[in-house]
Structure 1
Amino acid sequence: MTNPVLDFIEEHADEIAALGPENEKLGKLTPRAAEILRQSGVIKMLQSAKYGGSEAHPAEFAKTVMRIASLDGSSGWVSGIVGVHPWEMSMMPAQLQEEIWGEDHDTWIASPYAPMGVLRPVEGGYIFNGRWQFSSGTDHCDWIFLGAFLGDEDGKTIMPPKNYHVVLPRSDYEIVEDSWDVVGLRGTGSKDVIVKDAFIPEYRVVEFGRFLNGSQLADSGQTDPCFGIPFTTAFPLGITSAVIGIAEGALNAHLAYQKTRVQITGTKVKDDPYVLFAISAAAEEIKASRTAILDNVTFFYDKAKRGEEVTFEERAASRRTQVAAAWRAVRAMDEVVARSGGNGMRMDNPIQRFWRDGHMGLAHAIHVPGSVFHAAALLDIDVTPPPGPMLSMI
């Protein structure tokens, strides 16, 4: 299977890697880093063909994100997160798709999906308010997906809460500068956004549950199997792929550094069997994470291609696979970083940046294993359905 986007990334690999420190210093992707991603087409890999997208196999998207992240964690992270949004937008109401992509197929959409806002019903739509954290790549996006709960006429959340995805143009929200000061993934520019009394027409609001139960896909008319994978597999795919790619980048930087390194004992690393053993063991763990994430999404792609429904048990197992893959890759990265010596932690050595980026990526909500593993285990012993709070990430 050819992947012209990945070919483009390989052609610009050195430049992407060289821009990593500049992205981090700036606190967001530099204009050039963003332009390379835009030119590559990675953000349009899962976009509808009607609006210039590739409708690519999601595994090819994951491979591309991993490669970008292995060059620069922040560029890979933005590719993985912003690159999933066209997948969802391709199933949104036709009027909204035309509004966003009708004149420019390269329009980027930010997020986050956390329901930190409240929709107050009014005639023709809603009044929307809230504040969200972690809007990755937001400075380079012209629209945004935001999570929300439905409120009553007074703006109080209706119980039990229902989660909605709300779409806004850049003119309807404020990006909070200096709200992204963190230890890793600094170049992602994952800033806070604020919405104050924005009017949202009804067609820009969709209940999240419609993506989970498949009704949104059915109504969209999309038939390519790339749109048939579960939302709870698709959205984490870009994030987990970035983390695995970051671990691959750390390993690559470590290997390049160790070729000529002489330890303080006078022993060359190439003559130290203990370090060499650890490198190989870590390399296989990272490789296992890569294989697991690709096999996982391919499983659902193939089911969609055959027209088969996805069970809740399969969704839970999928999430367990994704979470475990991220943790396995970062643990393996820790093993090689711990054997990089003190100079590996110097700020001019890319090893330390990959290390910080990887741990920051592991801290994302989708990589918290507790409820995901708990729910998956309950389903394995036929306890259905698991308690409500465990369902949010499945």
Structure 2
Amino acid sequence: MNQLWRRTVTATAMPRDTRDLLAEAVKIAPVVAEAAPEALELRRAPDRSVEALINGGLTVMSLPVEHGGWRAPTAVQAEVMATLTEADGSFAWVTSIYNAVGHMVCAFGDQALEEFLGSEIPRSAGVFAVTGRSAAVDGGYRVSGKWGFSSGQHHAGWIIVPGIPEEGGAPIAFLVPKAEFEVKDDWFVTGFIGTGSNTVVLDDVFVPEYRAIPFMDIVTGNYRTASLAGDTYYNQPFVPFMCAMSVGPAIGLGRAALRAFEERVGSRGITYTNYARQADAPITFHQLAEARMKLDQAKFHADRITTAVDEHAASGAAWDVVERVRCRADIAWAIKLTREACEIVEHGSGANALRAQDKLGSILRDIRTMSVHSFLLHSTNAELYGRILAGNEPDVPFI
């Protein structure tokens, strides 16, 4: 494995101005775009793209500054993800996972964080579905289970997985070295093909107690790392932060789809009509306007998430339930609007958009995949938000 992937995070690894992050994203985007066809073949992120990501400091955006990270505002990170998405949606999704789960690692306590940061590959994937089980033993737990959709696991050194204790009680989150997992070769999908979201398996693996915490401590923002105890960037509910990390790829997919459409309408006609230039047809005017308006609306909801998260991180103010649930509603609505905008573009693009290697075709497949992610489903999140607005208590813990 390339030694660059194993570089230990250090406090002097990079400059401190978070505005440089977007410049780095712009800089590496051509590398990512050039490697995108390779990602489709490999069904994971290409090595050269990951190298560029590490060189640009874009795998440690959520880690503490004193440990070589950026502690970057989510508004900045969302724009980084959107920029990378315009090059390759799958790769941006993997980038969002590394940075979201990096934030989660900071919940486990100083011993676990130091071990993670000092490891050969200080990047973690993570799965939130509670499909594992654990048994308490002297000094820790024996953990077994199978977790699907582990995006980015190929270039990760660690994976966070939750499991139910055999003794009963609430789920526990485990920070486990990637080497302990068996990785199934089962990622055969139609969208987000390059995310390498394979199923990972543990079979009776020992996890020390210091790398295990109640899963709800992460969800509620009860981070156990003493060195970060006064830092409200970390000690806040994780779900809004996860929403902020995830919304950038949706915005980027919408931008890329509309740009591809705008570039085509002036150079092609509409088959079986008298329009030699698609750009001269009134239907095209409507398509461009409606798609643009939907994407503007999606950006409003994306910005509302990142603004809320960044303001709470800055002020330390407590989150109320409505705010937390609204973040889930906002990201689901942003993705729904983006998918609708992309489908307008699809209807105006003809059969060429169906080609496997067509950039627009890849975008359309990715947004469809993103919109049916169980955490991002509009139907689920609208029901949850409406439930709260009607004066009821939430009926799920992941808020």
Would you say same fold, with TM above 0.5?
yes
Cα RMSD for the two superposed structures: 1.9
Residue 369 of structure 1 corresponds to 378
Residue 252 of structure 2 corresponds to 245
Correspondence 1:378-393 to 2 at 5 A:
378-383=387-392, 385-386=393-394, 388=395, 391-393=396-398
1:80 pairs, out of 79, 96, 103, with 96
Identity of aligned residues (%): 24
Residue 336, structure 1, aligned to residue 352, structure 2: no
**CA spacing shift, 1:368–1:103, aligned 2, 3 Å:** closer
Task: List 4+ stretches of structure 1 deviating above 4 A.
Answer: 217-220
3-state DSSP class of the match of 1:226? coil
Equivalents in 1 of 2:371, 2:152: separation in Å?
18
Deviation at 1:242, TM superposition (A): 1.4
Whichever residue aligns with residue 41 of structure 1, its letter is G
Residue 113, structure 1, aligned to residue 120, structure 2: no
Residue 35, structure 1, aligned to residue 51, structure 2: yes
Deviation at 1:70, TM superposition (A): 1.7
Verify the 8 A CA contact 1:143 1:169 in the aligned structure 2.
yes
Equivalents in 1 of 2:222, 2:203: separation in Å?
31
Equivalents in 1 of 2:179, 2:218: separation in Å?
27
Correspondence 1:188-227 to 2 at 5 A:
188-216=195-223, 219=226, 221-227=228-234
Residue 291 of structure 2 corresponds to 282
Residue 314, structure 1, aligned to residue 323, structure 2: yes
Q: TM-score, normalised by structure 1?
A: 0.91
Verify the 8 A CA contact 1:320 1:369 in the aligned structure 2.
yes
Deviation at 1:172, TM superposition (A): 1.2
**CA spacing shift, 1:203–1:148, aligned 2, 3 Å:** same
**CA spacing shift, 1:220–1:361, aligned 2, 3 Å:** farther
**CA spacing shift, 1:174–1:62, aligned 2, 3 Å:** same
Bigger drift between 220-229 and 127-136 goes to 220-229
Equivalents in 2 of 1:354, 1:364: separation in Å?
16
Residue 183 of structure 1 corresponds to 190
Bigger drift between 184-193 and 279-288 goes to 279-288
Deviation at 1:345, TM superposition (A): 1.8
**CA spacing shift, 1:71–1:223, aligned 2, 3 Å:** farther
Flag structure 2 segments of 5+ consecutive residues without an equivalent. Answer: 1-16
**CA spacing shift, 1:287–1:51, aligned 2, 3 Å:** same
3-state DSSP class of the match of 1:366? coil
Count of residue pairs the alignment pairs up: 381
Residue 7, structure 1, aligned to residue 16, structure 2: no
Whichever residue aligns with residue 245 of structure 2, its letter is G
Verify the 8 A CA contact 1:24 1:186 in the aligned structure 2.
yes
Deviation at 1:167, TM superposition (A): 0.7
Q: TM-score, normalised by structure 2?
A: 0.90
2:270 pairs, out of 246, 263, 266, with 263
Deviation at 1:80, TM superposition (A): 1.1
Whichever residue aligns with residue 341 of structure 1, its letter is G
Flag structure 1 segments of 5+ consecutive residues without an equivalent. Answer: 153-157
